[in-house]
Amino acid sequence: MKKHIPNFITLLNLASGVIAILFATQNQLEYAAYFVFLGIIFDFFDGFFARILNVKSALGLQLDSLADMVTSGVVPGIVLFQLLLNSISNNNMTYYLSHISEIGFVPFLGILITLGAGYRLANFNIDTRQTDSFIGLPTPALTLFVVSLPLIGIYGNYEWAMSLVKDTYFLVIVSILGSILMNVNLPLFSLKFKNFSLKENSLKFIFLAISIILLIGLKVIAIPLIILLYILLSIGSNFWSKTS
């Protein structure tokens, strides 16, 4: 019976992703973000329980990737599509369709995130190097960055941040750069703790401490900043390891 527990949690991740898609296609991006957050929590705990119960399986690995493809692949692509559409046509699909020859297919650039996520997840399953760390930005991390953007537009208290997430050029850069970062040959540290030694996990503790401070001080705006911090700390750690 216990071998089914992680897979059931993975299915909850998949269900969260499907519900997020339903909200995202209706441009209810706030609720889509909440269900993505829930799905990513399930994504963390399915692996956690698989390790605790010692019931890792090939089925679980494939099921996890399929669920991630929905929650952290399809959903952020739709969210970026909607954000790009909103930035161009003020959330008016009828206006967009009637002016598509003038506006072009810029909103569909958001789907690059979905394509990049699909490639990364397939590659992750056959890459034996990514056991204790990551190579390329994990799909849940990029998804958190993307789905936090509409929340900044809703709850943000900083005018510069609110205007930035509504800027078409910025959103196009996020889509292109995000799909690249997921598949670039860049080592990134994992947040999995084998033990709680301060010396062995100093980078993780620093990251968590700064992240908590940012969340307390900046609230929703902190989410994309935390993802950027994660990338910068990883790059710094890589450079330090090579020079020391």
- What pLDDT is stored for residue 208 in this prediction? 94
Q: What is the pLDDT of residues 49-68, one digit of tens each?
A: 877 887 778 888 889 999 99
Mean pLDDT of all residues belonging to the chain:
88
Residue 228 and residue 223: Cα distance in Å, rounded? 9
Q: State the sign of the Cα–Cα–Cα–Cα dihedral 171, 133, 188, 229.
A: positive
Interacting residues of 207 by C-beta distance below 8 A, sequence separation 6+: 189, 191, 229, 230, 233
In the chain the domains, ranked by start, together with CATH numbers, are 2-131+138-187 (1.20.120.1760)
pTM higher than 0.85 for the full model? yes
Q: What does the CA dihedral 3, 4, 9, 11 come to, rounded to 10 degrees?
A: 140
Q: Which tokens sit at 16?
A: 């969260």
- What pLDDT is stored for residue 72 in this prediction? 97
Q: Which tokens sit at 34?
A: 């909440």
Q: What is the pLDDT of residues 76-125, one digit of tens each?
A: 999 999 999 988 876 556 665 656 666 678 899 999 999 999 999 999 88
Position 193 pLDDT exceeds 90:
no
Report the candidate in 93, 104, 87, 226 with the shortest Cα–Cα distance to residue 169.
Answer: 87
Residue whose token pair is 């399929």 = 66
Determine the Cα angle at 29 with ends 24 and 34, to 5°: 100
